[in-house]
Amino acid sequence: MENYFKRVGKGSVTIFLCIVLSGIFGYFLRMYLTRTVSVAEYGLFFAVFSLIAFLVSIIGLGLYSSLTKYLSEFIVTNELKKIKYSLKFVFLAQLAITMIFMLVIFFISHDIAIYFFKSQAAEPILNILLVFLLVYTWMFFFRHAFQGMRRMLELGFTFILYSGLALLFLIALFSFSSSMITNIAYAYVLGTAATVIVCFIFFLKDLRQLGKIPSLSKKEKAVVRKSLIMFGIPVIFIGIANSILSNIDTLIITYFRSTYEVGIYQTALPTAQILLYFSSAMTTILFPIITELWTKKKYQFISTNLSLLTKLTFLLIIPAAMLFIAFPENVINILFGADYISGAFALQLLTISIAVFSIGMLFTITLNGMNKPGLNAKIIGIAAVLNIIINIFLVPILGIIGAAITAIITFGLYFLLSSACVIREFKKKNISFTVPYKELAKIFAGVYISLTIIFITKIMLVSHPLIELAAALMLGVGFYIFWVFYAKCITKNDIKTIKKTSLPIPAFILDTLERFAKN
């Protein structure tokens, strides 16, 4: 079983580092924009971008997730003909669907700009981003193919290229032309197109090898096609629901409030989403592995280690969460400037919601790996519908604070429903799985005390903001680390399990942690 530990360890570290580096480029891009364009222009672009991001999930029709799942299975069973046909079918199907959506949106882009975004300036941005929609779906295809084929290095590299090249093109465009908001859209198109070219080069060797593989018969193609579509049908609703959870708040703020508020919200939200880096890395590598393990009926192995991963994910995101909750004004001011500080309270609320969502992600990806996308669709669908209803009620009254409160409510429900369904699925296999609620409660108690220490330190210590921040964090995080071991949030057995992975943690650190950890 150590092979799985090592695959999770190596894959997670690779994806985590790539996502972090990609996130750094993404934040430099946003930091550059907030210092180059006005708050309203920044908000207008990301309002339009949210609409395009919403369309990406609809256009996917669940086929990308199907591709990841079945490529993983076909590799295990060494069915190269099915791999070849799956790649061809998904690519051509997505290309056709994307072109149809592009044409429809293009012909109504003027009306969308006037009646939804309430700005003529949105029309050229929308039309340029339609080209982005096309190349982005191609990049999505390659990402899911790499994921299904367990090529995590190439997958991670696409994240870095996408953000890094978009940043480079953005700086170049603003340097050599006027500061037009359309430059942002052009930068995303060019960065994504260049990433697709690199992905194609990575994939060229595979395409040549697959080209030598005989094709399936018509009957065999129909079977594979049916499998991909049937798995994808419920995933369609998962994609739409996920897109609602990710983008509908921005779109509702756009419609009921203003692009200025969208600009403020679009600094608080991506900052809180930094917490997703670790869980995103975990879920990316876990999906094909859980699919493989479930196929091989290794239910107990999944159950035992999923509980540990849940606890570790929560433990690791807490320090950053404490920073965002205790010093929201400082974080926003450093990253985006003083014009965006009014998003501080929204950042505190969104941090809580994203921390809860991070754990729920582990459970929903587990359900997909268990071949239960329909169940997953119901969970995310319920959360998405509730998200729309509450947002429509709260956003007109409370603005971005209403959107942040909605996120806490819906992501809390998402976590509870997904964990309950995972427990039920294990129970059907006569396997006991327990969400580590006791340990999570202990961690939460430690966070509460740590934040209390930080806030008291801030009140008592009147000094330079950076000195105040450093001193308060040192005391708060120091107590948190002490609490983790004192309250047995992490045990010797947990450390021993971590040692089985290939995580690049020096042995002396793990030995020290094991020495302090209790049984």
Q: What is the pLDDT of residue 327?
A: 85
Distance CA 246, CA 50 (A): 8
The residue among 123, 65, 61 whose CA lies nearest residue 94 is 61
Q: Which residue has the tokens 């021993």?
A: 496
Give this prediction's pTM. 0.78
CA-nearest of 25, 37, 48, 20 to 337 is: 37
What pLDDT score was predicted for residue 128? 93
- Residue 278 identity: F
How many whole angstroms separate alpha carbon 457 and alpha carbon 433?
41
Residue 456, token pair as written in the block: 């008291």
Dihedral pair phi/psi, residue 228, rounded to 5°: -60, -45
Can you give the pLDDT at residue 1?
A: 45
Are residues 481 and 453 in contact, defined by beta-carbon separation less than 8 angstroms?
no
Amino acid, res. 34: T
Q: What phi and psi values does residue 125 have, to the nearest 5 degrees?
A: -65, -45
Q: Tell me the two tokens of residue 190.
A: 């060019």
Mean pLDDT, each 10-residue run in order, the chain (519 residues): 49 68 86 88 90 80 76 77 83 87 91 88 92 90 82 81 91 79 91 91 80 78 82 73 81 91 91 80 64 71 75 80 87 88 93 88 80 79 90 94 94 90 83 78 85 82 71 82 80 67 55 66
DSSP calls for 459-481: HH--S-HHHHHHHHHHHHHHHHH
Alpha-carbon gap, residue 312 to 481, rounded angstroms: 13
SS (H, E, C) 316-346: HHHHHHHHHHHCHHHHHHHHHCHHHHHHHHH
With a CB cutoff of 8 Å and minimum separation 6, the contacts of 110 are 123
The distance in angstroms from the start CA to the end CA of the chain is 23
Confidence (pLDDT) at 246: 78
The whole-angstrom separation of Cα 312 and Cα 225 is 38
| Separation of alpha carbons 327 and 207, rounded Å | 50
Region of 118 on the Ramachandran plot (φ > 0 left; ψ -120 to 50 alpha; else beta): left
Tell me, what's the pLDDT at 2? 44
Sign, Cα dihedral of 17, 354, 442, 481? positive
Q: Are 350 and 269 in contact (CB under 8 A)?
A: yes
